[in-house]
A and B are shown apart, each in its own frame.
Chain A
Amino acid sequence: MSGENLRQDWIDGMRVMLPLLPGTVPFGMIAGVVASNAGLDALAGIGQSVVIFAGVAQLASTQLMADAAPVLVVILTGLVINLRMAMYSASLAGHLSALPRGKRWLLSYLMTDQSYALSILRYTARPEMSLASKYAFYMGGAIPMWVVWLAATAAGYFLGNRIPASWSLDFFVPLGFLALVIPAIRDRANAIAALTGGTVAVLGWELPFNLGLFLAALAGVAAGYAVEALGSKPEENA
């Protein structure tokens, strides 16, 4: 476990995160604008990016604050939107649970769709990675994401949204995930999982609290598991 290799893991984590960062800039700026328009002071408007650090939840809860919704509704909305994080946590547990508590808590705090996706795909592709390598790779990507999100929220809060919507920079987000998911569809079970996830997300698109995404993830996982379980039986008996 040489220091040189860990440095390389850290750099690799940063390098694969880089293309995913441009898409978060317009999104973060919108979160800042919405906070400013909702009448939050600078400390709360930007501080929520530090305390919550989850874009969709921040946008939804800020909007509810502006609408003077009951505080319990604001809190529950923010949490239901982030339910998928528990699935990410379960998926990463086998790889990262053995880290000391400080590192576990830090990487948990920094968990995003992006840091989860990049890390789990890397860990799966390289089963020989050491625990220290896995942590270095994760943090290499997660820290730049945190910095960019915070900077984008602050810029949006103070300057307003200076990026014209016609540039469609928000489209970088799905394109980045698309580039990750296509190579991840390695076999029939993964293809069915992706197909089911996409279909349920479309069907559940109008559900509140981002629940469509959570249900789509659950349904996709169940479908992939079912296909694998059914498909593997004849081979086991042969």
Chain B
Amino acid sequence: MDKQTIWFAIILIGLGTFALRASFIEIGGRFALPAPVTRALRFLPAAVLSAIVVPAVLRGEAGTLYFGIDNPRLIAGIAAALVAWKTKSVLATLAAGMGTLWAMQALL
């Protein structure tokens, strides 16, 4: 792909991504979103964060999803989830998750 085409693609992706990011923040100043949409969006943080976390925690050595309890990331994710639930501390959660992962990688 030549230099001009590469820049063409980068700039259009950049402009399009900006349009997606700005979309409803711009529209929102002029029209209110329908009430059901606003109510439903209150569940977006829980839904999208869980959708990012669950597959990442299930990722096995081969790069595919692996549900076995000998998957270090799964065990580390469960340990981190328990600590997050008990402490509500981001730092404690990171420490528990990375500590468990590194310990299991050293042992297995």
Give A contacts to B, CB under 8 Å. 16, 19-20, 40-41, 44, 47-48, 51-54, 57, 61, 65, 68, 71, 74-75, 78-79, 82-94, 96-98, 104-105, 107-109, 111, 113, 117, 120-121, 124, 166, 168, 171-185, 189-191, 193-202, 205, 212-213, 216-217, 219-225, 228
Contact = CB atoms under 8 A, between A and B. Distances in A.
Interface string B29-60: 10001001111111111111111111111100
Contact of B43 (A68, A182, A221): A221
Interface residues of B, number: 68
A168 B94 CA distance: 12
Given A75-B12, A104-B26, A216-B48, 14 more contacts: A44-B10, A51-B11, A61-B10, A75-B13, A87-B44, A105-B22, A113-B48, A173-B52, A174-B77, A178-B49, A181-B50, A183-B84, A201-B50, A217-B48
Nearest to A166: B105
Nearest to A193: B43
A52 B41 contact: no
Interface string B79-108: 011001100111101100110011001000
A142 to B, nearest CB: 11
Interface in B1-21: 1, 3, 5-14, 16-18, 20-21
Given A194-B50, A220-B46, A171 B73 contact: yes
A74 B9 contact: yes
B25 A104 contact: yes
Nearest to B97: A175
B77 A225 contact: no
B1 A78 contact: no
Contacts of A179: 80, 84, 89-90, 93-94
Contacts of A41: 3
A202 B93 CA distance: 23
Nearest to B92: A179
A120 B45 contact: yes
Interface of B: 1, 3, 5-14, 16-18, 20-29, 33, 36-58, 65, 73, 76-77, 80-81, 84-85, 88-91, 93-94, 97-98, 101-102, 105
B55 A98 contact: no
Contact of A178 (B6, B14, B18, B84): B84
Contact of A51 (B14, B40, B81, B84): B14
B52 A113 contact: yes
Contacts of B53: 174, 177-178, 181, 198
Contact of B90 (A16, A185, A190): A16
Nearest to B13: A78
Contact of B49 (A61, A184, A219, A225): A184
Contact of A108 (B3, B12, B14, B25): B25
B9 A87 contact: no
Given A16-B90, A176-B94, A177-B53, A108 B42 contact: no
8 contacts: A47-B10, A48-B13, A57-B13, A71-B5, A71-B9, A104-B29, A198-B50, A201-B50
Contacts of A113: 48, 52
